[in-house]
Amino acid sequence: MQMLNEYIDNFLDYLEYERKYSFHTVENYERDLTKYKNYIEKEKINFKNMDYSKVADYTIYLKTSGYSPSSINRHLSSIRTFYTYLLNTNKVQNNPFKLIKGPKKEKKLPNYLKYDEFLDIIRVCDSSDLGVRNLLILELLFATGIRVSELVNIKLNDINLNEREIKIFGKGGKSRIVYFNKVCHKVMIDYLNNHRLILLKNKKHDYLIVNHLGNKLTRRGVEDILDKIIKKSSLKHKISPHTLRHTFATLLLNEGMDIREVQELLGHKNLSTTSIYTHVTNQELRKVFLKYHPRDKFKS
């Protein structure tokens, strides 16, 4: 087993120094490989003699240990990558973890707000400089469906106020145009004319959203702001900034917008990513059907 320890150490060094993986990523690999090493030590298995049945047994072991499907898949991926490294460095003859697929991930329906719940949240925002900024954050997320990482990177020259358009730079640097409504437009004008300059505190930068120190607001800052707003509202369930993105997509589909148009606005590369929202809208449709169809109301 000393040989395996040495191989794991070499692999982790390879990830850190050659592949330039982050400390957090390397730490996750180390945790997964340590669990695997402890398992095969306990079962007295030679790591070079793993086959399909032994890998399947290990997968069952992870499941019975309480690992979720996504955690099992990540765990198997770590070991699969390790064996690929061993194969490329001529330490093993094959990669047994290529022979098995992990469990299917459970599809969780996205959490979203009803329109009256959104109205309840924005009532918390006051007319102070930070209050108007917070209102703009909520209105922009609700109006455009952009990611928080995209929101905090909006610059003034990305915005076309006359056309109510914003050029967004999404994942992989891919750009797209999103649109905002009249209410959002009104809040943005108020923020730009009366509050942003005060929040800047004589600092100079082009980012739209400013924090209380006059610097660019961070993604974590948006999450903290929303947490505080939710605590002041009457909502009892947990809301994240991404909830507003889910709300945007769900409401548009409920109103009849084509799913491909919603895909374009969200910046999804694949339509399958957007299709999760059709499950939500279908659920709502079912509720309406069961509520109003006369034959469903029939009591036997």
Name the CA dihedral angle for 37, 54, 77, 71, rounded to a multiple of 10 degrees: -80
Decide if 268 is catalytic: yes
What's the rounded Cα separation, in Å, for the pair 156 and 196?
A: 11
What's the rounded Cα separation, in Å, for the pair 254 and 284?
A: 9
Asked whether 266 and 259 are in contact (CB, 8 A), the reply is: no
pLDDT per residue over 52-87, tens digit each?
888 889 999 998 988 888 888 899 999 999 999 999
Decide if 61 is catalytic: no
Beta-bridged to residue 169, according to DSSP, are 175
Decide if 237 is catalytic: no
Decide if 36 is catalytic: no
Decide if 246 is catalytic: no
Mean pLDDT across the stretch 18-26? Answer: 90
Could you give the domains of the chain? 2-99 (1.10.150.130), 115-238 (1.10.443.10)
Catalytic pick among 80, 195, 245, 246: 245
With a cut of 90, say whether residue 191 has pLDDT above it: yes
In sequence order, the 6+-apart residues with CB closer than 8 A to the CB of 257 are none
Catalytic pick among 75, 147, 195, 246: 147
269: confidence class by pLDDT, cuts 50, 70, 90: confident
Decide if 277 is catalytic: yes
Greater pLDDT, 180 or 103: 180
Catalytic pick among 277, 279, 286, 297: 277
**What's the pLDDT score for residue 204?**
92
Catalytic pick among 19, 123, 171, 228: 171
pLDDT per residue over 37-59, tens digit each?
999 999 999 999 888 888 889 99
Is the model's pTM score more than 0.85?
A: no
